[in-house]
Amino acid sequence: MEIFLNEIPEEGLQRSGQFQSSLFDLDEKDSIRSVGPVEYDVTMYRFEEVVAFSGVLRAPFQLQCAVCLDYVDYQAEFESWSSELDLEEGQKNFDLSQVIREDFLLELPASPFCEDLDPERTCPKAELIQQIEEESAKDPDADSGPDVWGALDDLK
Ligand SMILES: [Zn+2]
């Protein structure tokens, strides 16, 4: 969605609507899946070298749990979104949908845990992680292997 800088009046330019989820152009194998339209309600302000944005963004995603690798529904809602776009010399326009796309990808939780995304959920692999943690806590010498052998050598 092209916005021309000279369209933006001093008091700001308000735009709202939806982008299709295909905006994200993600691969099936990516840890983020966009599963519905992106709603936006944004006001843009033009300054010398930047355009400033503020408004509301909402879009449904599925994010991959970093532990069990399942995809879990996640409704992203940025109720007080703000961002800036640096303008290059001579730049006359920009693509609002690309600004919004990049900010979603930056703001979505990186390597999320499914129980944090969905409080009703129990991560099927969480127990495994806990076991590994407990075992290494029980056996504090576990990772000091080479030193143990070094100590034995000293005894000879
Ligand atoms: Zn999980």
Q: How far is CA 130 from the centre of its chain?
A: 26
Give distance in angstroms: CA of 64 to centre of ligand 1.
Answer: 8
Give distance in angstroms: CA of 2 to centre of ligand 1.
Answer: 39
CA angle 22, 26, 28 (to 5 degrees): 110
pLDDT tens, 41-93? 999 999 989 999 999 999 999 999 999 999 999 999 999 999 999 999 999 99
**46, β-bridge pairs:** 51
State both tokens at 122.
């129990």
58: Cβ contacts below 8 Å, ≥ 6 apart: 38, 39, 40, 75, 76, 77, 78
Question: Which amino acid does the sequence have at 149?
Answer: W
Q: What percent of the chain has pLDDT over 70?
A: 89
Higher pLDDT, 128 or 3: 3
Kindly tell me if the per-residue pLDDT of 142 is higher than 60: no
State both tokens at 41.
């309600």
Give distance in angstroms: CA of 123 to centre of ligand 1.
Answer: 4
pLDDT tens, 95-108? 999 999 999 999 99
Q: What percent of the chain has pLDDT over 90?
A: 71
Give distance in angstroms: CA of 147 to centre of ligand 1.
Answer: 36
The pLDDT of residue 136 is 84
Kindly tell me if the per-residue pLDDT of 148 is higher than 70: no
Give distance in angstroms: CA of 137 to centre of ligand 1.
Answer: 22
**Measured between alpha carbons, how far apart are the two ends of the chain, in Å?**
76
Q: Count the Cβ atoms, other than its own, within 10 Å of residue 48.
A: 5
Q: Is the dihedral of CA 125, 130, 132, 133 positive or negative?
A: positive
Higher pLDDT, 141 or 23: 23
Mean pLDDT of the chain: 89
Q: Where are the alpha helices (DSSP H) in 16-142?
A: 96-107, 114-117, 126-138
Section 106-114 average pLDDT: 92
Kindly tell me if the per-residue pLDDT of 150 is higher than 60: no
The pLDDT of residue 143 is 57
